[in-house]
Amino acid sequence: MTLNISVIGTGYLGATHAACMAELGFDVIGVDVDPEKIDSLSRGDLPFHEPGLPELIRKHVDSGRLRFTTDMGEVGAWADVHFIAVGTPQLPGGTGADMTYVDAATTSLAQAITKDRALIVGKSTVPVGTAARLYDLVKAEKNDDVDLSLAWNPEFLREGFAVKDTVEPDRLVVGTRHEADEQLLREVYAEALDRSTPWVSTDFETAELVKVAANAFLATKISFINAFSEVTETVGGDIATLADAIGFDERIGRKFLNAGVGFGGGCLPKDIRALQTRVGELGLDHTMRFLNEMDHINLRRRDRVISLAEEILGGDYAGTDENHSAVEGKRIAVLGITFKPLSDDVRDSPGLDIAGRLYNAGADVSVYDPQGNANAAKRFPRLGYVDSMTEAARGADLVVLTTEWNEFKQLAPADLNEVVAKRQFIDARNVLPAPEWEQAGWTIAQLGRKFD
């Protein structure tokens, strides 16, 4: 018997998971409360940017193996395995995770299930203790005629590589309370298991904690190198060489040691905050206090870009008095508004934060991003969004590179020499060859390098 699969929540995670499950040969229905998203996906159109995913969605919508609906009743009567992939954003005005969506989705799903046997599988990133709570909730919903259970299977995909990470994950982690639930998940992931993908079978708490531990570790690596950036900016030295040199040690590794304007996105920042909040609720706030420092190091990188802009644009006056910033009235081009390349996601994006702060300080800010303009404009409509790098830089007193898209990494001084008003650049991702720019008459500041 082939399994029918539903995915509840069709955002970055859910739409990817649904399409990849269809690619693996299952019949899949994606469910969302957002009718516009469902209409778009039903036509085979992906409402966000993720390389390789539009082709997969279209392929399986056309083949009939992948459908989308807003009707929970439809999947309750149909699917054997239901993945929960709804959002767990930071609470408005708080630091903990907003569990409203996970709770609502799980409750309405459990009520809608009418099959004799079904398994609900949590994929969203949640505070430890959630799976046990939802397990009780789900069990309370059904009488003994229905064999309804719950498992936890956190997701580790990266935006920009979501399809590959889903189809060929580094590892699969499943938290279950029953052998039969684990066996069912082994059927779902049979293809990855055939390729000897590590299979970590564990309890609910470990499964939930593995996810937040992984993100906390990644955030720590980035902030670790960025803390050294603050030192090299003061004493001199080269942060990229330092990262290369420690990265040669296999115990450390070079990945996630790229110094720059730090981490953003819909995951790392909110997940380290939610983890601190959760351990605080458990009376263990001292254990994760270091993450508070990681968060601060990260946010200080954004401040550093603002102060460099003031320093460069202020000239001799170098900075800010009580009422005025040196960026006031200056034209600034911001290249890159997404939190990282290959995505249109602007959630907690360092580039958008910086562009907004420069605008609020009185600068005339012009923004170009290959994919992120539309999403950024929804959050910060007053910035000047344009369709090319050159348009953004035209007449600029300062160019700031905040996301390392390939087209920015390939930028040469000659592309902008005659376009800008002043040859002044902040490379907040350390991707340009500074000496070449200096030779072409540019003042270029890079994070992690001393700037005189």
Ligand X SMILES: O=c1ccn([C@@H]2O[C@H](COP(=O)(O)OP(=O)(O)O[C@H]3O[C@H](CO)[C@@H](O)[C@H](O)[C@H]3O)[C@@H](O)[C@H]2O)c(=O)[nH]1
20 assigned to active site: no
Q: Rule CB under 6 A: is residue 266 a binding residue for ligand NAD?
A: yes
Give the N- to C-terminal CA distance of the chain in Å, as an integer: 69
Q: Rule CB under 6 A: is residue 159 a binding residue for ligand NAD?
A: yes
Specify whether the CB–CB gap between 151 and 84 falls below 8 A.
Answer: no
Closest approach of Cβ 238 to ligand NAD, in Å?
Answer: 32
The listed partner (ligand X, ligand NAD, none) that binds 31, CB under 5 to 8 Å by sort, is ligand NAD
Using CB positions, name the residue nearest to ligand NAD: 11
Q: 219, 268, 277: which is closest to 98 by C-alpha?
A: 277
- Sheet arrangement for strand 398-401: 384-385, 364-368, 331-335, 398-401, 424-427, 443-446
Closest approach of Cβ 266 to ligand NAD, in Å?
Answer: 5
Closest approach of Cβ 128 to ligand NAD, in Å?
Answer: 14
Q: Which is nearer to ligand NAD, 47 or 237 (CB)?
A: 47
Specify whether the CB–CB gap between 334 and 350 falls below 8 A.
Answer: no
The listed partner (ligand X, ligand NAD, none) that binds 8, CB under 5 to 8 Å by sort, is ligand NAD
Among 4, 24, 34, 74, binds ligand NAD (CB under 6 A): 34
Which residues fall within 8 angstroms of residue 353, CB to CB, at 6 or more apart?
264, 302
Among 263, 368, 385, 437, binds ligand X (CB under 6 A): 263
Number of chain positions touching ligand X (CB under 6 A)? 21
Specify whether the CB–CB gap between 149 and 134 falls below 8 A.
Answer: no
Handedness of CA 280, 284, 289, 294 (dihedral sign): negative
β-bridge mates for residue 331, sequence order: 364
Closest approach of Cβ 163 to ligand NAD, in Å?
Answer: 12
Q: Rule CB under 6 A: is residue 264 a binding residue for ligand X?
A: yes
| Residue among 210, 219, 267, 312 flagged as catalytic | 267
* x-marked contacts with ligand NAD along 279-308 as a string, rule CB under 6 A: ------------------------------
Give me 443's structure tokens: 């003042």
Using CB positions, name the residue nearest to ligand X: 267
Q: 386, 344, 277, 378: which is closest to 48 by C-alpha?
A: 344
β-pairing verdict for 331-335 and 443-446: unpaired
SS3 171: coil
Binding-site residues for substrate sit at 156-159, 211, 256-260, 264, 340
Q: Could you give the C-alpha distances from 113 to 84, 87, 186, 410, in angstroms and in order?
A: 14, 21, 22, 53
Calpha distance 95→270 (Å, rounded): 7
Q: What radius of gyration, in Å, describes the C-alpha atoms of the chain?
A: 24
Near ligand NAD in 7-26, by CB under 6 A: 8-14
The listed partner (ligand NAD, ligand X, none) that binds 268, CB under 5 to 8 Å by sort, is ligand X
Closest approach of Cβ 158 to ligand X, in Å?
Answer: 4
Calpha distance 233→236 (Å, rounded): 6
Q: Which is nearer to ligand NAD, 125 or 366 (CB)?
A: 125
Which residues contact ligand NAD by CB under 6 A?
A: 8-14, 31-34, 37, 85-88, 101, 104-105, 124-125, 155, 157, 159, 266-267
- Tell me which residues are annotated as active site: 267
Which residues contact ligand X by CB under 6 A?
A: 125, 155-159, 215, 218, 222, 256-258, 260, 262-265, 267-268, 339-340
